[in-house]
Chain A
Amino acid sequence: MASNFPPAALLILGALLVPLFTGKAKSYYVILLPAAAFFVVFQLAPGSSWHTHFFGFDLTFLRVDKLSKVFGYIFTLNAFAAFIYAFYLKDNTQHMAALFYIGSSLGVVFAGDLVSLYFFWEVMAVASTFLILGRKTEKAQAAGMRYIMVHVFGGLCLLAGIVLTISETGSIAFSAMTERNFGTYLILIGFLVNAAAPPFSAWLPDAYPEATVTGGVILSAYTTKTAVYTLVRGFPGWEILIWIGCIMTIYGIIYALLENDARRILAYSIINQVGFMITGVGIGTMMSLNGTVAHAFCHIIYKALLWMSAGSVLYMTGKSKCTDLGGLYKTMPWTLIFGAVGAASISAFPATSGFTSKSLIIDGAIHEHLAWVWLVLEIASAGVFLHAGIKFPYFVFFAKDKGLRPGETNKSMLLAMAFMSFLCLFLGVFPQPLYNVLPFPVHYSAYSFTHVISQLQLLMFSALVFFLFLPLLKRTETISIDTDWFYRKGGRLVYQAMDLSLNGINNYSDRIFVKGVAGFLARFARDGMARLALLPFVTYWYLKGIRFKRLEIKKSSLYYNLVRGVIPAGLGAAMAALFLVIIFLLS
């Protein structure tokens, strides 16, 4: 019966029941849900089901093939570990947001058409924002707002692309895009925003480090990797992705090297790692696509592990900046050891999962004789060890002892990290179970003698450079300007420019028209007639020889009476008669 139940529904409906549980039961319940979802994914039979008719479209909520299944496995597996890590957390909002977020990412992965994909895509964006807002700091609020705005933009690109594509082809099917037109490029941009490809990358290092301790662990896995999934499904072999991917690998390293905040270093290294995957999509051969999927699988595990390690430090010390941390190996040895396993894995040390997955992508580039691409990926591999492999653990756990003695983190966090460490090492030594679930058949072994030696040379000499250049790598209390400058500072500058120019025109107009012309008219309307009427009288009095003080008094008294309309009746009659005489004489 359950052979074709959508795993997304299990988590999303399950999320609604979270408030009914209290205490430890709540923690066990949220661990159990993804475990059950993993089982549901495991026994899904290939094919598509759960069709619904919606506004003339036939939606497919469950499309099962090897590609969707492998992402289903890792999404549920990672959720299982993340909720073990979050055992201490009793916050309904965060648990429900996380389950909605993970559930809708499964919805994207199993969606058989563009319309239902779009629906889950947007739910993901909204639900994930709550994991950032959950930190309840002013910075997190602001970062959360920027995060959702960027994703609304990405979602709009995707929606516009989908609408154009549907109107062009008449089909809502989501499969490999062959047409290269405005519509498909808009869809590509929508996906690339979530993949954090420059210039739409700054949202990730802006928002993730502001998330809660557990939020960071969960966020690190889903948004970017659903984007990788959609690219593998929709854009394999689009060569522009090779260049975007290569840029991402180097961009991530440069920014991670400049960064001071440990969780922000890890955020930039997500961009670097996703760069490898996107390059694999761009190469587009069976080997490189397998590599992309395998690397996404392993990356989710070791990156969550690294975020868990940094999260434990944040949880225990309340700090995440390298300049505040150091010397923690003394009191947090287990967090260090597990973090180091994650660091070794992301660096693709032989016997870790990164080695068995990344090699597929790099060999994919070699098979296609893409010399420059291969060279960039090798340089980036060396750089990964530099920034995530050594820099992160060194500055957090070693470097200068800052006198922090927090003690080891709580047991559930350690358990989750131990589980993830085990997976990193297991997949590094026995990658076959992973290779078996990849979308295409794998005939590959990463473990040739020369390959292992080359990798060790690359990594050890990178380590040597790190320690030789340590004085140059000293941390400073700074942040780095990224493309978010344009909507954070640039927006403000545009505002100021608008303020100066438009309000300048406004002030100028105000001076000329409101205070000038209109003022004149207003004054004229108030006493213009009275002043005109004064003219003949003053002339008459002057001719009569009335001067100086007396003239002034008579003048002001008449003006006073004229303005208030209290002229003696005789005077009014005299005025009227005078005007009649003048008219008579003039005609």
Chain B
Amino acid sequence: MEKKKKFDFFDRPENIRRLWIFLYVFCGLTLIPDFFTHREAHFGFDGFFGFYALLGFVSCVALILFSKLVGLVLKVKENYYGK
């Protein structure tokens, strides 16, 4: 056990902090090109700055909350059908 160094990169709090920073920075980076390029709007409402970022964020929040809501009704114990 002692000889072989355990690989636990993703368990260490300092690394988790770094991953969070990386995630925020990456999200920020994807927004930068929107300052310089003009994306063609397909339907008139989808051409503004950061449209896809907003779409991704809002739709995922909505999906999670909606699934939580229906989960109140649909989720049952594993032995619901017996056995």
Contacts and interface: CB of A to CB of B under 8 A. Distances in A.
B6 to A, nearest CB: 7
Interface in A462-486: 462-467, 469, 472-473, 476-482
A472 B56 contact: no
Contact of B23 (A330, A378, A453, A463): A463
A453 B76 CA distance: 41
A114 B61 CA distance: 45
A394 B77 CA distance: 23
Contacts of B73: 481
Nearest to A399: B10
Interface of A: 138-139, 142, 250, 253-254, 257-258, 327, 329-330, 333, 366, 369, 371, 374, 378-379, 382-383, 386, 398, 401, 449-450, 453-467, 469, 472-473, 476-482, 488-489
A514 B64 CA distance: 61
A467 B76 CA distance: 25
A489 B81 contact: yes
Nearest to A321: B78
A477 B75 CA distance: 9
Nearest to A479: B78
Contacts of B80: 479, 481, 489
B64 A472 contact: yes
Contacts of B30: 453, 456-457, 460-461
A457 B54 CA distance: 8
Interface of B: 6-8, 10-11, 20, 23-24, 26-27, 30-31, 33-34, 37, 39-40, 42-43, 50-57, 59-68, 70-71, 73-78, 80-81, 83
Contacts of A489: 80-81
Given A253-B63, A327-B11, A464-B24, 14 more contacts: A371-B43, A379-B55, A379-B63, A383-B60, A386-B60, A449-B33, A450-B37, A453-B33, A457-B52, A461-B56, A465-B56, A466-B60, A469-B64, A479-B77
A480 B56 contact: no
A449 B10 CA distance: 33
Contacts of A455: 52
A401 B11 contact: yes
A464 B39 contact: no
Contacts of A330: 6-8
Contacts of B76: 478-481
B27 A460 contact: yes
A414 B33 CA distance: 39
Contact of A382 (B10, B24, B59): B59
12 contacts: A257-B67, A258-B70, A329-B10, A382-B56, A383-B59, A386-B60, A449-B33, A458-B56, A460-B23, A461-B54, A464-B57, A479-B76
Given A462-B56, A478-B75, A386 B81 contact: no
Contacts of B34: 453, 457
Contacts of B83: 138-139, 142
Given A386-B63, A453-B30, A472-B64, A460 B10 contact: no
A521 to B, nearest CB: 45
B64 A473 contact: yes
Nearest to B69: A254
Given A138-B83, A258-B67, A480 B75 contact: yes
Contacts of A379: 55, 59, 62-63
A358 to B, nearest CB: 15
A478 B78 contact: yes
Contacts of A459: 56
A453 B83 CA distance: 49
Nearest to A397: B10
B37 A254 contact: no
